[in-house]
Amino acid sequence: MTEHITLVAEDATEIVGFGELADDRHIHMLFCRHDYVGRGVGSALLVALEAASPAGAQALFTTFASLTARPFFAAQGYRVSRRRWFKRGGAELSNYLMEKQI
């Protein structure tokens, strides 16, 4: 996580979410604790990560979103570019390359 821009969301006493942005404007991770989902933590982290990018006004942000994360990113203006299939531990999985032009 030290190689990327990493932001952490906290309430008064503990961490409730975190996000990571790579140099190529790829959202590498975005996590929100289950009891904070729907409370704006993920959206705030994503906006802060996009704002923290040193890119110019015409930046293209990307992420690989899971099936469950896809609606969240779509609501934030990301669009599906393609579906990606891969194997992990013998299981075939998929996620979605999503992009947002700012």
What structural domains and CATH numbers belong to the chain? 5-101 (3.40.630.30)
For residue range 40-65, list pLDDT tens digits in order.
999 999 999 999 887 666 789 999 99
Say if residues 79 and 63 touch (Cβ distance below 8 Å): no
Question: So what's the pLDDT on residue 96?
Answer: 97
| Residue of higher predicted confidence among 43 and 2 | 43
Closest CA to 41 of 11, 71, 70: 11
Could you give the percent of the chain with pLDDT greater than 90?
A: 83
Question: So what's the pLDDT on residue 63?
Answer: 97
Give the sheet arrangement for strand 60-65, strand by strand.
5-10, 15-21, 26-32, 60-65, 91-101, 79-88
Query: What is the pTM (predicted TM-score) of this model?
Result: 0.88
State CA 78 to chain mean position distance.
Answer: 10
